[in-house]
Structure 1
Amino acid sequence: MRDEALDDPNCAVAAHLAHLERAPSARGSSSQRKAQGSHYTPRSLVEYVLRESTHELAHVPRSVIDPACGSGNFLVAAARELIARGATSMESVLTHSIYGVDIDERAVELCRDALLALLLESTPIAARDRVAIALERHVVCADAIELDFGARIGIAKFDWVLGNPPFLNQLEISTAHSRTRAKRIAQLTGGAVSRYTDVAAAFLLLGLDLLAPGGRLGFVMPQSFLASADARKARVAAVKNARLRSVWACTERMFDGATVQVCAITLSKQNDALAASRDDEHDAASVCVAFGVSFDALPVVHGFDFANTPTWSPLIAAGFGVPACVLQLKSTRVVGEIARATADFRDQFYGLRGAIVERAQELSSQFPRLVTTKHIDLAECTWGAVNVRVHGIKHVHPCVDRAALERDSAMNAWVHTRLIPKILVATQTRVMEAWVDEEGSVLPLVPLLTVVARDDGECDLWMIAAALASPVIAARAVALYSGSALSSRAIKLSARQLLEMPLPIEQSAWQESAQLFRAASRAPDLAQRNTILERYAHASIRAYGLGKVDLEDVLRFWRERRVR
């Protein structure tokens, strides 16, 4: 017997969403969802995207599409929203306004069933059949990237585009599209999405292309889209003919079985004829921001410079507690003027296979220590004190047997370039962690960054390291590049991004910070090192010309990230 409560569309939708949340088996296995880049959207996130994408929208959208509709979470909620906004009937909405595409045939069937469940029990059989026929035409199994929407579903432009597109990191074999597919996506997006860009960016640009003038788009995206260098062209393309209206992010995991951090963005197409008039607080240069699983509102960001800001991460910086002052520094010089930075890659990583040995004693230039990210802490190298795993083998004292590399000219050349005085900078860390290899006696393992002083000798390694490890740079890195690391709370800079960081402007404080950083590096124990690092942090923040209030804000931010 049918539950009478399901005659209420609100109850029907709630039951559908609850079923999806309880029964992952109905959505395919975890490995299948990962292979397709598909994970189903939590109800709270669906509701947020709908709310923000229709904010200040004065009229009822006539057409809604989800180009990666899955089993229908967004479309079911959108149908409800259209009724709430004054659409004549659910039958009319489902027949004329709801459209969806998904590559998974079973998901498409579930989506159609979920939409049909919105009809009242009293709906005549003939009307129910008409809706079912319309949904078969309008909710289809296809690849949205390649689909001719006008020919297949009878409409090419939509008032409202919603969705949670597949997240496919094309560098991961388990989720990669073929090279042919990647080339096709690059062609369709005018080069804005390359084979190194998450394919979700292609769906975003497709969604904007499907959007009618004055229409609205709301998408769940990987948080890396906000910061990734590979997604920069897609970000530029997105705001070329559309306005970014809102952005949301969080540090928590929102999807069961998925490791990716997510964000949500809403945009409106230029010539926003459907929108109500806006006051000054919501002009075209302003972006509404929310953060966390409770979608807490943060201050509206006004006048964001999309043209000259390399990422969109500053929009959510306040959610991570970043002091605003680190984006308003007076410095006109960058690290790249006094240093060079290099990142090694898979050739060096795999080139060491068979040459790594365990050697605790009798170290020499023929057996240089191999240092990993796990070994590098702030002003400290913990080689020999922690276990690391390299090429599947656990080591405590990893060294490189140079004799094993004699026949590999490329690896031999690499060893020579790395066995020099340098700074090693760790990645995937909560603060900037750098250590000075004064003697040039260790070899770095991917993904450590290697930094050396420029030949002109303007600054020594200690001055450079003191700048790189500054709490100011840590905060600025979070502000500019949050979302690019494996963890939402971690920092991951490329060599280029590291060199683009600003230099201190107060020479005496900078020199003081360098002396303290050196002293911390030589401290006999952790307690003394931390005491000296506190003094170093003060001096390095002053070196950037920050006043007392800003200094305390940056110091507090840095301390909290260090201890967690």
Structure 2
Amino acid sequence: MDKGLLDWVSKQVLQGAQPLEIAAAVAREIAKAKALPTDGSQPSLLDVGSLYAPEGIKYTTDLIGSVYEQSLDTLTRRHGGVHYTPFEIAKKLARIALEGLPVGPVCDPSVGGGSFLLAVAEYLSYCGESPTKIVQELLWGIDLDQGAIEVAKASISIWGSFDKWVVPNSGNLTVANSLQGGLSSFADPPKSGFVAVIGNPPFQNQLQESTVRPIEQTRELREKWGVDTGPYADTASYFLLVALSLLGEMGKCLLIQPQSILSTADAEPIRLKLAEAANLEGIWIGGANIFEAGVNVCAPLISIGFTQKPARIWKGPEIKELKQRLINKENWANALAITQDVPTVHLSGEKLGEVSAATAGFRDQFYGLAPHVCEHDINQTAVAPLITVGMIDPLRNRWGTANFRYAGKFWSRPVVNLQTLNETDQELYEWVQERLRPKILLATQTKVLEVIPDLDGKLIPSTPVISIECNPQEIWKITAVLSSAAMSAYAFSTTAGSALSSNTIKLSAKQVIDLPLPSESRHLTKASKHAESAFNAETTEEKKEQILKMSEEINTAYGCDNEILQKWWIQRLPKWR
């Protein structure tokens, strides 16, 4: 948006102007430039307020929706998950969604400022359809916000009008909750459904207080759309099922999503339902800088009635198509891995869960331990070291080597007072006792998998560190496997999108036990010895040498002895700290 216009919008908001008044001023300016009449046939938005938009700005119809959403107060935008789609992005995605489709009605189930409907209008016009037909018959939309519907009506009417006003047919743009109503949101929907559904539904991260849904609403969504989703599935992901229900016998849908849709366990039932009923035609991996909020976004392209083909992949704001294709349609996360140049690996074998158990604490454990944590003192007896994610480097326990943040404070040698814990919280004390056994501790949100062994079972994992508990004889083997280049590439390719950064790995305890182990071999045996030597190494050089040898042996054990794989992994290893 032009800085002058943005400054004007900010000034009007500070002076108490309402979002519809601000949008109306811009709409009137554009209508005036097109010499459209003010004879009562104009959209109702143009009659709102009496503001005048600033002169000297190049106005386009997409700016009407842009200034409207920019004018909404921060709380409304955050709670509603509102993010205006840049028009250039919307146009490129609309082309991807509509290519190869017959001309027919297109729906945006969460219209917002109308960016996607305008993008569809421009594509259909490019294909030779008349503006009148496009505005009156082909553009449909739903939104909870009456203001958004008014803005969308005005935007597409101004776009398609020249000498006289052309407005959408009554009912084509409607105020409703598409998550509840689906196709019935319209009083008179197209008899054969829509040929395409496209849009940018609201993002509502269920780990953020400002956007969390009431549990009753989550139950309603599960029941309505027939999916047993986890409580943390983003609201945006349910719109994919809405889109599927709106399509006719042959059609496509493309909805922008948070990248968590690619791999999180809570959204897996939605991915599975889509796989059963439709084809994955492609995925756009947008990255983090598409919207002001900096959310990592993507957009799966889903189709019904088309022949299944390897899924295409597009990348970045420029929406550049890559040469690689997504073969395994069940693993959406691999599309993100491909855009990050992660080497492709195909690992198989016995599941880690066959020889171990994995667990991670929750908020209750994290905050429950906090009152019982103190700095280590040589005179203390009934204590155990607390290990946070930041203390774990590849085969190196950094406890006591620096200051680490935990529960709002910095600690160097934090320990849990087991005596006071036992006296005040028996249940949590028993949970801690269960963790005090031989195990491997795995960090999360890291560029490669980083683990440390705990052969004596003396360390307490702090949430979200994952505790992998096993027979002591298996510890070095599992440590070596998890610490290898092959396993980091595999983990990234299967779980990409679930971490805070699109460039890091975040495994859940359930995903950990599903990791495949290589068959027993001399390579696995040698790797185990290298892992032990690396952990016990007294010099940095010796540790690095042993870690590299360990990874090479595991790569070979998996049958993916690959120089590119090893080089990729080495470049991602953390610097010695």
TM tier relative to shorter chain: 0.7 to 0.9
* Partner amino acid, structure 2, of 1:433: E
Change over 3 Å in CA distance of 1:420–1:563 after alignment to 2:
closer
* Secondary structure of residue in 1 paired with 2:371: coil
Change over 3 Å in CA distance of 1:239–1:335 after alignment to 2:
closer
Aligned counterpart, 1:35: 79
The alpha-carbon deviation at position 154 of structure 1 amounts to 1.6
Task: Show structure 1 runs of 5+ residues with no match.
Answer: 273-282
Per-residue displacement from partner, 1:350-371 (whole Å, max 9, x unpaired)?
2213111122x31755121111
Aligned counterpart, 2:60: 15
Aligned counterpart, 2:467: 450
* Partner amino acid, structure 2, of 1:383: W
Change over 3 Å in CA distance of 1:348–1:192 after alignment to 2:
closer
- 1:155 aligned onto 2:189: yes
Aligned counterpart, 1:211: 247
Higher mean Cα deviation, 207-216 or 110-119? Answer: 110-119
Aligned counterpart, 1:279: none
Output the CA distance in 2 between the equivalents of 1:68 and 1:91: 23
The alpha-carbon deviation at position 207 of structure 1 amounts to 0.8
Superposition pairs of residues 232-311 of structure 1, within 5 angstroms: 232-258=268-294, 260-270=295-305, 272=306, 283-301=307-325, 304-306=327-329, 309=330, 311=331
Alignment check: 8 A CA contact 2:432 2:460 kept: yes
Aligned counterpart, 1:275: none
Aligned counterpart, 2:18: none
Aligned counterpart, 2:564: 553
Alignment check: 8 A CA contact 2:441 2:467 kept: yes
* Partner amino acid, structure 2, of 1:144: S
Change over 3 Å in CA distance of 1:8–1:348 after alignment to 2:
farther
Give 1:224's match in structure 2, choosing from 235, 243, 260.
Answer: 260
Task: Show structure 2 runs of 5+ residues with no match.
Answer: 1-27, 37-56
Aligned counterpart, 1:278: none
Aligned counterpart, 2:150: 109
Change over 3 Å in CA distance of 1:250–1:543 after alignment to 2:
farther
* Secondary structure of residue in 2 paired with 1:196: coil
- 1:56 aligned onto 2:100: yes
Change over 3 Å in CA distance of 1:42–1:339 after alignment to 2:
same
* Partner amino acid, structure 1, of 2:303: S
Change over 3 Å in CA distance of 1:534–1:24 after alignment to 2:
farther
Aligned counterpart, 2:545: 531
The alpha-carbon deviation at position 149 of structure 1 amounts to 4.1
Alignment check: 8 A CA contact 2:336 2:497 kept: no
Aligned counterpart, 1:170: 206
Aligned counterpart, 1:46: 90
The alpha-carbon deviation at position 450 of structure 1 amounts to 0.6
Superposition pairs of residues 69-84 of structure 1, within 5 angstroms: 69-84=111-126
Per-residue displacement from partner, 1:20-79 (whole Å, max 9, x unpaired)?
66x58634234322211221112343123212112222x322x11101110100011111
- 1:131 aligned onto 2:147: no
Output the CA distance in 1 between the equivalents of 2:416 and 2:31: 72
Give 2:478's match in structure 1, choosing from 461, 464, 467.
Answer: 464
The alpha-carbon deviation at position 2 of structure 1 amounts to 5.2
How many pairs are equivalent?
525
The alpha-carbon deviation at position 538 of structure 1 amounts to 1.8
Output the CA distance in 2 between the equivalents of 1:202 and 1:402: 44
Output the CA distance in 1 between the equivalents of 2:467 and 2:79: 35
Alignment check: 8 A CA contact 1:286 1:300 kept: no
Output the CA distance in 1 between the equivalents of 2:417 and 2:204: 39
Change over 3 Å in CA distance of 1:170–1:18 after alignment to 2:
same
Output the CA distance in 1 between the equivalents of 2:381 and 2:466: 21
Alignment check: 8 A CA contact 2:255 2:299 kept: yes
The alpha-carbon deviation at position 555 of structure 1 amounts to 0.4
Higher mean Cα deviation, 241-250 or 431-440? Answer: 241-250
Aligned counterpart, 2:3: none
Output the CA distance in 1 between the equivalents of 2:545 and 2:324: 39
Output the CA distance in 2 between the equivalents of 1:263 and 1:8: 39
Give 2:441's match in structure 1, choosing from 404, 424, 437.
Answer: 424
* Secondary structure of residue in 2 paired with 1:440: coil
Aligned counterpart, 2:13: none
Output the CA distance in 2 between the equivalents of 1:313 and 1:262: 12
Aligned counterpart, 2:365: 348
Higher mean Cα deviation, 112-121 or 349-358? Answer: 112-121
Aligned counterpart, 1:514: 528
State TM-score, norm by structure 1: 0.86
The alpha-carbon deviation at position 507 of structure 1 amounts to 1.8
* Secondary structure of residue in 2 paired with 1:86: coil
* Partner amino acid, structure 1, of 2:391: H
Output the CA distance in 2 between the equivalents of 1:485 and 1:55: 32
Aligned counterpart, 2:176: 142
- 1:386 aligned onto 2:402: yes
- 1:371 aligned onto 2:387: yes
Output the CA distance in 2 between the equivalents of 1:286 and 1:149: 30
Aligned counterpart, 1:362: 378
Per-residue displacement from partner, 1:216-252 (whole Å, max 9, x unpaired)?
2111111111111111211121132222211111444
Output the CA distance in 2 between the equivalents of 1:55 and 1:92: 19
Higher mean Cα deviation, 484-493 or 498-507? Answer: 498-507
Change over 3 Å in CA distance of 1:395–1:517 after alignment to 2:
same
Change over 3 Å in CA distance of 1:69–1:435 after alignment to 2:
same
Output the CA distance in 1 between the equivalents of 2:72 and 2:527: 55
The alpha-carbon deviation at position 445 of structure 1 amounts to 0.3
* Partner amino acid, structure 1, of 2:103: V
Q: What is the RMSD computed on CA atoms of the aligned residues?
A: 2.6
Alignment check: 8 A CA contact 1:477 1:491 kept: yes
* Partner amino acid, structure 1, of 2:517: L
* Secondary structure of residue in 2 paired with 1:39: coil
Aligned counterpart, 1:277: none
* Partner amino acid, structure 1, of 2:78: K
Output the CA distance in 1 between the equivalents of 2:253 and 2:58: 22
* Partner amino acid, structure 2, of 1:508: R
The alpha-carbon deviation at position 481 of structure 1 amounts to 0.8
Alignment check: 8 A CA contact 1:60 1:85 kept: no
Report sequence identity in percent: 29
Aligned counterpart, 1:480: 494
* Partner amino acid, structure 2, of 1:523: A
Aligned counterpart, 2:8: none
* Secondary structure of residue in 2 paired with 1:239: helix
* Partner amino acid, structure 2, of 1:502: P
Output the CA distance in 2 between the equivalents of 1:349 and 1:411: 10
Higher mean Cα deviation, 522-531 or 421-430? Answer: 522-531
